[in-house]
Amino acid sequence: MTSIQERSALGIVPKEKKQGKIARYMARNRASENYLIKKDFARICGGFFMVVLLFGLCFLILQPILFQISNSFMSRQDLFDSTVISVPRYPTLVNYRMALNLMEYWGALGTSLGITFLVALLQIMACTLVAYGFARFEFPFKRFWFGCVLLSIIIPPHVIMAPMFLNFLNFDIFGIFTLFRGAPLSLTYTLTGYLILSVTAMGLRNGLYIFMLRQYFRNMPKELEESAWVDGCGKLRTFAQIMLPDAVPMLVSCFLFAFVWQWTDGFYTNMFLRNYGVMAERMRSLADVFSSYYIVEIQRLQGGHGLSPPIALVETMISTGVLLGVAPIIIIYIIAQRGFVESIGQSGMKM
């Protein structure tokens, strides 16, 4: 007879074990009147369905980004080659060099970082004070004012675009500027107007930040404040030294939201920051700038009248500019993702 070691080396023992497991499984299945195999079959089919569903959702989310990345590396030969679909045959960095040039990227990046950081910081400071007031204090018409905050979330900014533009075009406070200057101030296309909105918690998506922070402060135990008051802290000191340190994860989350939305915003940027050369404006105007550059180059090289660039070239340049524009946002999110995820996990919604 063959020894156990020899049988194991030949793979006979594992095969017998496998056959034994199958036999036991079938015996259990017969004992359960085929319920066991039906249950396992349903579990396998459900798992397969979930994998297909998740793959489809991930593909829907990632496919536009992958298309932009692929398109940004395509050379002119690839763009006009019908056999090239997703993977460029002759990858090139020419598109990135041209986009950096046409967007004046580094100057726009520095300006955008400075303005966006300042605006987001002012918005979070103002929204934090307002949210703490709604969470902890009682004052007349509190529910009415909080309803107005919710309305600012629901109503899109484009609905109030015309009155807001006219208000900042002829900015005056109770006629004071007209009394001393003879005319109201014009704060459109100036950073000052947008800073006023930010300081008064009326900037982009500020209603949402107030709501999120208010829910967070409501979930914090009141005993923390009461113990601080017993120790002699005033309300402002309690807010600064007790409440704010615990709310850092939510503040980071709201700051990221404010930074990202301000970075890609077109509404307020067009109204206040059009003359500052921020990244959102550079991305929006890249197609027109590239078309003008292309026409001038064709005239210089071939003489006569320049022709408009092919649509494929314009789309490639837009893809490249968009990737360059969102790259800083991706880097910031990677750095701050831990605080962002923690804040979402702790935010609880207590009405």
- Give domain status of residue 258, yes or no: yes
pLDDT band of residue 350 (cuts 50, 70, 90) is very low
Whether 124 and 259 map to the same domain: the answer is: yes
Q: Angle at the Cα of 201 (from 151 to 342), degrees rounded to 5?
A: 90
pLDDT band of residue 342 (cuts 50, 70, 90) is low
Confidence (pTM): 0.77
The pLDDT assigned to 4 comes to 47
Whether 236 and 314 map to the same domain: the answer is: yes
For 183-210, the pLDDT digits (tens) are 888 888 889 989 999 999 888 889 999 9
Whether 51 and 124 map to the same domain: the answer is: no
Q: Show which of 37, 58, 79 is a domain's final residue.
A: 58
For 13-39, the pLDDT digits (tens) are 455 566 677 778 777 777 777 778 888
Whether 149 and 240 map to the same domain: the answer is: yes
Which stretch of DSSP H or E encloses residue 147? Answer: helix 142-154
Whether 217 and 316 map to the same domain: the answer is: yes
Whether 99 and 45 map to the same domain: the answer is: no
Whether 35 and 113 map to the same domain: the answer is: no
Report the C-alpha gap between 135 and 211 in whole angstroms: 10
Q: Is the pLDDT of residue 344 over 70?
A: no
Q: What is the domain count for the chain?
A: 2
Which residues on neighbouring strands pair with residue 192, listed in sequence order? Answer: none
- Give domain status of residue 12, yes or no: no
Q: Show which of 10, 41, 58 is a domain's final residue.
A: 58
For 108-115, what is the mean pLDDT? 92
- By percentage, how much of the chain surpasses pLDDT 70? 89
Report the C-alpha gap between 130 and 210 in whole angstroms: 7
Domain span including residue 43: 18-58
Whether 32 and 165 map to the same domain: the answer is: no
Whether 38 and 147 map to the same domain: the answer is: no
Helices (H), 182-278: 191-199, 206-219, 222-230, 235-238, 244-246, 248-264, 267-272
Sign of the torsion formed by the C-alpha atoms of 137, 140, 143 and 147 = negative
Question: What residues contact residue 132 under an 8 Å CB cut-off, 6+ apart?
Answer: 213, 214, 217, 239, 243
- Give domain status of residue 83, yes or no: no
- Give domain status of residue 10, yes or no: no
Question: What residues contact residue 308 under an 8 Å CB cut-off, 6+ apart?
Answer: 291, 294, 295
Whether 274 and 335 map to the same domain: the answer is: yes
Report the C-alpha gap between 173 and 102 in whole angstroms: 41
Whether 39 and 127 map to the same domain: the answer is: no
Q: Is 91 left (phi over 0), alpha (psi -120 to 50) or beta?
A: beta
- Give domain status of residue 63, yes or no: no
- Give domain status of residue 44, yes or no: yes
Whether 210 and 308 map to the same domain: the answer is: yes
For 227-247, what is the mean pLDDT? 82
For 259-308, the pLDDT digits (tens) are 988 898 888 888 888 888 899 889 988 988 998 888 888 777 766 566 78
Assign residue 211 the CATH number of its domain.
Answer: 1.10.3720.10
- Give domain status of residue 9, yes or no: no
- Give domain status of residue 339, yes or no: yes
